């Protein structure tokens, strides 16, 4: 500890060694004790452990079947918690951890030593410059991970270019206010589409991120396929497969939401009037309207959890993701329907059971604990819920 303190020249800073997964990580003690983790000497968010657990599961699943070179590029690594766990807990051939903060890199190097890791390079560059250096065919990563403060949109171009054919690009977004509709102008500038404030705003946000990724990739003659997405209170994360071929699918469009009756639908074109109550429609997009989970990939993620040291919550979430993977876009919440009925909501299990009994598709959703997906419209849902004792 004394060596690292002296090396970092933070005489008043106290460091702490923690274990996350099976990996030892040196972190600033204040990042554990303070309510808001400080950015100096280096940022580490202990609350993002679940986020990192999901990354480990997704990357383990991908690496098991990927035939090419297993190279991991982390553009904004901080103290390297995610990359160190990948290097230590998964089978990776080459790992390059990059960050512009030299203190963070020194801590990452120290942690690599704690775990006896030899297959790691450390680079100190601006993220896009770093990723652009890896845009050549033989330099690309099979996994490229981008985890910035705020919006990842400015890294989409260089991130896609740095991902090899068949590789995974994963990005995180923490600019939730922008994506959830508080600053519509900023959202349009960054992501090329606008949100609508709804009960399923987190899904709209993720679809805006995917829509922006799709627009950038199409311009580069590249196709993206969403494999897995994650929505937590403080971030949204997407995992997409990158294929070096033009995308022929019509997978961007709009979510059309009626704030009067609650009806919603997805479409390639905008509409101005609700088909149920004839009120004016609110329009979200353009955004991704295709699938956001690859069912086979998520099923394999679920199988992989037993081989890894991850939070039990991951397993429960993945079960929900599998159930909703082939359902249509947008979900309802029990409270949303109950407020329209002016009565207490039924239990989620009963709600889904009764929708299925009436010939509709229905499933839970990982996006909301009281959320459900169905192909029934809002009027049909209310009618069915009114019969539930």
Q: What is the pLDDT of residues 95-144, one digit of tens each?
A: 999 999 999 999 999 999 999 999 899 999 999 999 999 999 899 999 99
Sort 218 into a burial class: Cβ within 10 Å, 0-12 / 13-18 / 19+: middle
Any long-range contacts for 275-281 (C-beta under 8 Å, 24+ apart)? 276/377, 276/378, 276/379, 281/256, 281/257
The alpha helices in 243-373, defined as continuous H runs, are 295-304, 312-324, 334-341, 348-357
pTM more than 0.85: yes
331-389 has the same fold as 2-254: no
Is domain 331-389 given the CATH code 3.40.1390.20 in the classification? no
Residue with tokens 């508080």: 182
For the segment 227-243, the average pLDDT, to the nearest whole number, is 96
pLDDT at residue 62 tops 80: yes
State residue 248's pLDDT score. Answer: 85
Tally of CA atoms within 13 A in the half-sphere of 226 that contains its CB: 25
Token representation of residue 108: 């990452």
291-322 tens-digit pLDDT: 999 999 999 999 999 999 999 999 999 999 99
State residue 11's pLDDT score. Answer: 38
| C-alpha dist (Å) from residue 216 to 54, 157, 174, 221, 355 | 25, 6, 20, 9, 39
Domains of the chain by residue range:
2-254, 331-389
Q: Which percentage of the chain shows pLDDT scores above 70?
A: 96
Which CATH architecture best describes the domain 2-254?
3-Layer(aba) Sandwich (3.40)
Average pLDDT, the chain: 95
Distance (Å, rounded) from C-alpha 138 to C-alpha 276? 54
State residue 13's pLDDT score. Answer: 55
Using only C-alpha atoms, what is the Rg of the chain? 22
Strand partners, 239: 170, 228
pLDDT at residue 7 tops 90: no
Instruction: Return the H-helix or E-strand segment holding 104.
Output: helix 102-114
Are 89 and 21 in contact, with CB atoms under 8 Å apart?
yes
pLDDT band at 285 (very low <50, low <70, confident <90, very high): very high
Distance (Å, rounded) from C-alpha 186 to C-alpha 201? 16
pLDDT at residue 187 tops 50: yes
pLDDT at residue 6 tops 50: no
Are 285 and 268 in contact, with CB atoms under 8 Å apart?
no
State residue 14's pLDDT score. Answer: 76
255-276 tens-digit pLDDT: 999 999 999 999 999 999 999 9
């Amino acid at each position: 500890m004394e060596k690292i303190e002296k090396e970092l020249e933070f005489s008043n800073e106290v460091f702490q060694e923690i274990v996350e997964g099976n990996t030892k990580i040196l972190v600033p003690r204040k990042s554990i004790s303070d309510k808001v983790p400080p950015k100096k000497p280096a940022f580490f968010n202990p609350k993002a452990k679940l986020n990192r657990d999901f990354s480990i599961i997704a990357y383990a699943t991908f690496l098991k079947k990927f035939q090419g070179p297993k190279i991991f590029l982390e553009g904004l690594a901080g103290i390297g918690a995610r990359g160190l766990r990948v290097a230590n807990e998964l089978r990776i051939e080459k790992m390059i951890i990059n960050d512009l903060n030299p203190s963070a890199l020194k801590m990452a190097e120290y942690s690599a030593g704690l775990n006896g890791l030899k297959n790691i390079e450390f680079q100190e560059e601006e993220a896009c410059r770093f990723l652009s250096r890896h845009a050549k065919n033989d330099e690309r990563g099979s996994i490229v991970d981008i985890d910035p403060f705020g919006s990842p949109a400015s890294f989409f171009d260089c991130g896609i270019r740095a991902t090899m054919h068949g590789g995974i690009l994963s990005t995180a977004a923490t600019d939730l206010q922008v994506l959830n509709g508080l600053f519509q102008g900023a959202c349009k500038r960054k992501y090329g589409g606008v949100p609508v404030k709804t009960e399923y705003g987190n899904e709209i946000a993720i679809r805006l991120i995917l829509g922006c990724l799709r627009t950038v990739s199409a311009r580069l003659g590249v196709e993206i396929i969403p494999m897995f997405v994650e929505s937590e209170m403080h971030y949204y994360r997407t995992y997409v497969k990158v294929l070096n071929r033009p995308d022929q699918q019509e997978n961007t469009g709009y979510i059309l939401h009626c704030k009067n009756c609650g009806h919603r639908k997805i479409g390639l074109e905008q509409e101005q009037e609700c088909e149920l109550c004839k009120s004016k429609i609110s329009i979200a997009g353009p955004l991704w309207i295709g699938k956001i989970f690859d069912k086979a990939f998520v099923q394999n993620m679920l199988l992989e959890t037993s081989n890894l040291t991850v939070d039990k919550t991951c397993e429960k979430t993945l079960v929900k993701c599998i159930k909703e993977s082939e359902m249509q876009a947008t979900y309802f919440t029990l409270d949303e329907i109950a407020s329209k009925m002016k009565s207490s909501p039924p239990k989620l299990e009963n709600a889904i059971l009764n929708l299925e009994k009436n010939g509709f598709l229905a499933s839970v959703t990982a996006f909301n604990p009281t959320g459900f997906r169905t192909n029934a419209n809002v009027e049909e849902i209310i009618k069915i819920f009114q019969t539930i004792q």
